[in-house]
């Protein structure tokens, strides 16, 4: 499988892609840090996707903007992974790749591994840049940053990074599964965006327990470390279960379907 990973990374680790990813991480860092610090409430406990000046001064304050910003990036990751896979199908490059690697599950797993590794790298850049941007903005909002460089801060930063990775990994698996199952970019996008966007949220208005069960809402809860109704552990567990089920379905279809495009 390593050859598939290397080939996929060969595509991703080119200068234009790296520049675009780096620029994206930079813009994200600037917007997230500015948005969170400028909108932070002066006091009170942080709730959901909000921060307070007090919470920003805590050891994990340096990456709080990152954690809150990433919670809005789920749909972007879903779309990115989805279009990457449907693009291979619609362009016919999947056919070209299968002529070189007919073991389809290795191809799927290798490609997914490489994409996730690249996403992890971009996320690492984003977390570092957000920390730097936060450090630059914090004095203007009167937020002390002395706690940000303690060993406890590093643990908090890593926890934020891990949570973001898990959340975006969940979105990535759902994007891949949708692409493999539906194959068409337009249809997969329509289904994915409609489901994760309006459909789940409208259902949530009618059915209070929706956030405990629906994958998109669970990922939203996961991104912010759990909510009042969905504990972090439940969000992790159900995300893993749903992700595994979606991946198993995608793998089975990918392995057995004829490739005629």
- Does residue 41 sit in helix, strand or coil? strand
Q: Is 10 left (phi over 0), alpha (psi -120 to 50) or beta?
A: alpha
Sign of the CA dihedral with 9 first, then 252, 82, and 186 last: positive
When asked if residue 101 is in the footprint of another protein (CB under 8 A), the reply is yes
CA-CA distance, 50 to 57, in Å (whole number)? 14
- Under the binding rule (CB under 8 A), the answer on residue 47 touching another protein is no
Q: Which is nearer to another protein, 103 or 152 (CB)?
A: 103
Q: Is 184 in the site for another protein (CB under 8 A)?
A: no
Using CB under 8 A as the binding rule, whether residue 143 contacts another protein is answered as no
| Alpha-carbon distances, residue 60 vs 24, 57, 66, 92, 175 (angstroms) | 23, 8, 10, 46, 30
Examine residue 4 and tell whether it contacts another protein (CB under 8 A): yes
The three-state secondary structure class of 52 is strand
The minimum distance between CB 118 and another protein, in angstroms, equals 15
Which span (9-17, 120-128, 176-184, 241-249) binds another protein, by CB under 8 A?
9-17
Please state the closest distance from residue 18 (CB atom) to another protein, in A: 14
**Is 179 in a helix, a strand, or coil?**
helix
Positions 217 through 256 that interact with another protein (CB under 8 A): 256
The answer to whether residue 258 forms part of the interface with another protein (CB under 8 A) is: yes
Q: Examine residue 99 and tell whether it contacts another protein (CB under 8 A).
A: yes
- Closer to another protein by Cβ: residue 101 or 204: 101
Handedness of CA 57, 62, 64, 69 (dihedral sign): positive
Contact set with another protein (CB under 8 A): 3-4, 6-7, 10-11, 14, 16, 91-93, 95-103, 256, 258-260
């Amino acid at each position: 499988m390593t050859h598939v990973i290397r080939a996929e990374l060969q595509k991703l680790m080119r200068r234009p892609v790296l520049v675009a990813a780096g620029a994206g991480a930079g813009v994200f860092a600037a917007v997230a840090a500015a948005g969170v610090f400028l909108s932070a409430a002066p006091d009170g406990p942080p709730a959901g996707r909000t921060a307070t000046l007090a919470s920003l001064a805590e050891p994990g304050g340096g990456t709080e903007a990152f954690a809150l910003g990433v919670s809005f990036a789920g749909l972007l990751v879903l779309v990115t992974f989805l279009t990457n896979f449907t693009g291979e199908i619609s362009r016919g490059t999947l056919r070209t790749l299968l002529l070189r690697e007919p073991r389809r599950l290795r191809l799927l797993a290798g490609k997914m591994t490489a994409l996730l590794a690249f996403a992890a790298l971009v996320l690492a850049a984003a977390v570092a840049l957000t920390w730097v941007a936060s450090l630059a903005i914090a004095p203007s909002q009167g937020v002390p940053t002395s706690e940000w460089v303690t060993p406890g801060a590093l643990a908090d930063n890593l926890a934020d990074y891990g949570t973001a990775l898990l959340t975006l990994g969940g979105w990535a698996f759902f994007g891949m599964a949708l692409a493999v199952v539906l194959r068409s970019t337009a249809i997969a996008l329509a289904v994915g965006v409609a489901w994760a966007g309006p459909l789940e949220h409208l259902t949530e208005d009618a059915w209070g327990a929706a956030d405990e069960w629906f994958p998109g809402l669970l990922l939203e809860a996961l991104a912010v470390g759990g909510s009042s109704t969905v504990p972090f552990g439940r969000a992790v567990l159900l995300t893993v279960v749903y992700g595994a089920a979606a991946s198993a379905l995608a793998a089975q279809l990918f392995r057995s379907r004829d490739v005629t495009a």
